[in-house]
Amino acid sequence: MHIASVGVSKFCFLFSLAFCGLLLLLIPALQPLPRQVDLPKPRPQARPAQVGTSEGLGKPIKTEISRNSYPKTGKGVRRIPERGIGGPQEYRSHDKLELKDIFIAVKTTRKYHKSRLELLIQTWVSQAKEQTFIFTDGDDKELQMRTGANIINTNCSAAHTRQALCCKMSVEYDKFIESQRKWFCHVDDDNYVILPSLLRLLSSYHHSQDVYLGRPSLDHPIEAAERVKSDGSVSVKFWFATGGAGFCISRGLALKMSPWASLGNFISTAEKIRLPDDCTIGYIIEALLEVALTHTHLFHSHLENLQKLPIDTVLEQVTLSYGGFENRRNVVGVVGGFSLAEDPTRFKTVHCLLYPDTEWCPKLKPRHRN
């Protein structure tokens, strides 16, 4: 009996030891799973409202178009669901977006270096020298030395053809991808970029989301024969942001465009659908990637009547433009230190309203006292 009870307590002792050991082994396994870092954030859902989606059936497809004569609607339409419209989404990034996070590409051509580009370098580009890249088609060492601007000779043809313009866009895209920056924004050499507004707008989104921001020049989607995913017997409808007003693309979305846009693929995509550079961007994003353009009225080209822009809202816009001459002048109606003769584009006036301390800006006269 005594021997038996010693055996039992020995057994109990060994059992408790084994149990404790087992518990110790199990402790790490019973801990809650570590929190996954960097969970993808919810995609900002565009809250679209009625954009004039004139998706009616209509005319046969035109294939060769220029920027100002886009084809109208057509048959065999594949509808892209949901349109984005209006202002920024609710998304707020944790890290504050800075100007250095944006890659601004300016498209130009050798013959406009003096007449257009110099004005940009003197005005808004001077405030964003590090992040602005000028894509042109001819060397201009003198301009580069004198202004310190980032001028990139794409070696694309200087002609105003679809191929030449797509060639420049293709280089812009590749340089952006290489740059590691968060946002790609493209503008023409007749755009003024209001940098604080651009920063404010992009801060409302996250660069890892699919964001394509710009202004359509049409009130309906464009239609093209689908020659990338099929043989061209069906057509596809999509919105695109007009290049003449500028547009922006998040890095997340730009990376997804790579199969159709990187390393010269942009040129072959544009060739297949036979559309200009800005339409091709819209095609890749809306039609191939099924990401909707977020329509914004903060971007402006000279295809619209710029006089109609309320003067007190001009500095809140993201891009401005100018066009026409003399009696057909199409410029924003800002008033300031420069007359129309001194500042026909109004870009200097806008610049001095934004950055009054610039040395060449007229100094404000002390208020007249009675």
Binding residue numbers for Mn(2+): 190, 302
**Catalytic residue, candidates 278, 312, 343, 357:** 278
- Out of ligand UDP, Mn ion, none, what residue 189 binds, judged by CB under 5 to 8 A for its kind, is ligand UDP
175-179 LR contacts (CB < 8 Å, sep 24+): 175/103, 175/105, 175/133, 175/135, 176/103, 176/105, 176/254, 177/254, 177/255, 177/258, 177/262, 179/103
Q: Specify the DSSP element, H or E, that contains 146.
A: helix 141-147
Annotated catalytic, 140?
no
The residue number whose beta carbon is nearest to Mn ion equals 190
Asked if 160 touches ligand UDP (CB under 6 A), the answer is yes
Q: Which is nearer to ligand UDP, 168 or 295 (CB)?
A: 168
Of 47, 79, 53, 52, nearest in space to 286 by CA: 79
Asked if 190 touches Mn ion (CB under 5 A), the answer is yes
Asked if 277 touches ligand UDP (CB under 6 A), the answer is no
Asked if 330 touches ligand UDP (CB under 6 A), the answer is no
Q: Which structure tokens are listed for 178?
A: 């290489």
Asked if 6 touches ligand UDP (CB under 6 A), the answer is no
Per CB under 5 A, which of residues 239..298 are in contact with Mn ion? 244
Asked if 244 touches ligand UDP (CB under 6 A), the answer is yes
Q: Is 271 helix (H, G, I), strand (E, B) or coil?
A: helix
- Kindly determine how many residues on this chain lie close enough to bind ligand UDP according to the rule CB under 6 A: 13
For residue 314, the tally of other CB atoms under 10 A from its CB is 21
Residue-wise burial string across 198-220, b where 16 or more C-beta atoms lie within 10 A, e elsewhere: bbebbbbbbbbbbbbbbbbbbeb
Asked if 159 touches ligand UDP (CB under 6 A), the answer is yes
Of 276, 261, 219, nearest in space to 72 by CA: 219
- From residue 136 to residue 175, the character string flagging contacts with Mn ion as x (rule: CB under 5 A) and all else as - is ----------------------------------------
Which residues sit at the interface with ligand UDP, rule CB under 6 A?
67, 107-109, 112, 158-160, 165, 188-190, 244
Active site residues: 278
* Interacting residues with Mn ion (CB under 5 A): 190, 244
